[in-house]
Amino acid sequence: MKAIIPVAGAGTKLRPHTYTQPKALIPLAGKTILSIIVDQLREAGINEFVFIIGYLGEKIKDYMEEKYPGLQVHFVQQTDRHGIGHAIQLTREIVGEDEIFIVLGDTICEYDVKAVLEMPYSGLGVKKVDDPRNFGVAEIGEDGFIDKVVEKPQIPKSNMALVGIYRIKETASLFNCIENNIRNQVMTYGEFSITDAIECMIQNGAQFQSFKVENWFDCGKKETLLESNATLMKKFGGVIAEGPAFDNTIIVHPVSIAPGCDIKNSIIGPNVTIGERTTISYSIVKDSIIGSFAHLYDIVLTHSLIGNDTEVKGESRSLNIGDNTEIYLGES
C-alpha cells in the first residue's frame, strides 16, 4: 500500500501566502496541513508515500526530509498542471501494482483510516453538502455501491460530495482509465480529473463503496482556514513549546506556540497558532495564524493570517499578510 499526496497546486485562493510557501505547509493548529495528513495515515500503518510536487516543490521535499527522516518517500514532479488525474498518472512507475490511498494535499478529514484500509472494495470518501455543484459528486445505489461519479455537475442528482480521499484496489484499471482519458482528451473544465477516471473504472466493472467522513476541514481560503484552525485547536488542544516564561502575558487556551518565541506584555488566544521564533510585544491576538520569524508590536489582531518574516506595528483588526512584509499602522 502506497499513499499518494498531490501537492503541486499553486494555492491561488490563499495568496499572498502561497507566493512563498506551498499551501500544504501553512501552519494549522500547531502543525501544518501536510503533517496532519501524513500523521493520520502513518498512524493507520501506511509507511510509504508518494508526493506529487510542482510549485515550490523543493520546500515540500526539505520539509519532509527534515520532519520525517525515516519515512520512505518518493517525489514526482508535475511540471505542467493538467489536473489531479494527470498528476496521479505520473506516479505509475513508482506505484507498480500496489494498492494506493490517495489524499489530496489540502484535504483534512476525520474518519477511521484503518477501517477504510480494511474495506473489501475500493472506496471513496464522501460528505453531504448543501450545494454539490462545486464538487465531484457520488450517486450511491441502495446496495451502498457507487453507481456514478460526476465532476461539478450543473444539475446534481446527489448531494454527496467527494472529499478528496480515494482508496484504490484496482490500481492498473485506474492508470489505464487515466491514460485513455488523456489519449482521447476527455477533460472536465480543462483538466484531466480523477473523477472522470473513476467513472471510467465504474463503467468497466470496478466496484466502489462510499465511506462518510465525520468532519471535512476546508483549508482553501483565509476565512475557512481560520475556522478550521479554531476547530482543530479545540480537538488537538494547544501545544506551547518549552522555554522561558512569557513576561506579563496572558494565554487564553487553546493556543499553539512554536519554539523560540519571545512574547511579552500581550494577550494571546484563544484559537491562535504561532510559528517558531516569532516576537510579540504589547499586542492582543486571537483567532489568528501567525507565521515564523514574525514581529508584532502594539497591534490588535483578530481573524488574521500573518506570513513568515513579517513585521507589523500599529493598531488593526483583521489582516491577511504574506511573507517578508513590513507594515506600520501609525496614528490616523
130 backbone φψ class: left, alpha, beta (φ>0; ψ -120 to 50): alpha
Between CA 94 and CA 76 the distance in angstroms is: 9
Divide the 332 residues of the chain into consecutive groups of 10 and give the mean pLDDT of each group.
87 60 81 92 96 88 92 92 93 94 90 95 94 92 92 91 96 96 90 94 96 85 84 85 89 93 95 93 94 91 88 68 50 44
Q: What is the DSSP string of 190-242?
A: TB--HHHHHHHHHHTT--EEEEE-SEEEE-SSHHHHHHHHHHHHHHH---B-S
Which overall architecture, per CATH, does domain 2-221 show?
Alpha-Beta Complex (3.90)
Do 137 and 158 contact (CB within 8 A), yes or no? yes
pLDDT at 63: 92
Between CA 291 and CA 121 the distance in angstroms is: 42
Between CA 332 and CA 330 the distance in angstroms is: 6
Do 272 and 27 contact (CB within 8 A), yes or no? no
Superfamily of 237-329 according to CATH = Hexapeptide repeat proteins (2.160.10.10)
**Domain definitions of the chain by residue range:** 2-221, 237-329
Q: What is the DSSP letter of 145?
A: B
Between CA 263 and CA 296 the distance in angstroms is: 9
pLDDT at 308: 84
**236: exposed, middle or buried (Cβ count in 10 Å: 0-12, 13-18, 19+):** middle
pLDDT at 20: 60
Do 320 and 303 contact (CB within 8 A), yes or no? no
What residues does 167 pair with on adjacent strands?
101, 123
